[in-house]
Amino acid sequence: MMNEENNTTTSPRFTQTYCSQCGEEFGPGDHGYSHCENHVGMSESEPEVIESGGQATSY
């Protein structure tokens, strides 16, 4: 991850991150997720959900 203040690269804070609600793994990062609604479409294994006109459509 790039630190914009001094143009250095830093390692992620955690080696593995998760969603507290569903338990899905997201790999290295500085934070996990508390709820599934915060990570919809962020995982390759999870279909992306796009809201259109009040309906959710999976792709």
For residue 51, is pLDDT > 90? no
* pLDDT of the residue at 44: 52
* pLDDT of the residue at 43: 58
Least confident of 10-14, 42-46, 50-54: 50-54
Q: Are 40 and 47 in contact (CB under 8 A)?
A: no
Nearest to 24 by CA among 56, 32, 51, 57: 32
| 53 vs 59: CA distance, rounded Å | 16
Convert the pLDDT of each residue in 3-33 to its tens digit: 666 666 788 999 999 999 999 999 999 999 9
Confidence of residue 41 (pLDDT cuts 50, 70, 90): confident
Nearest to 38 by CA among 20, 55, 51, 54: 20
Mean pLDDT value of segment 26-48: 79
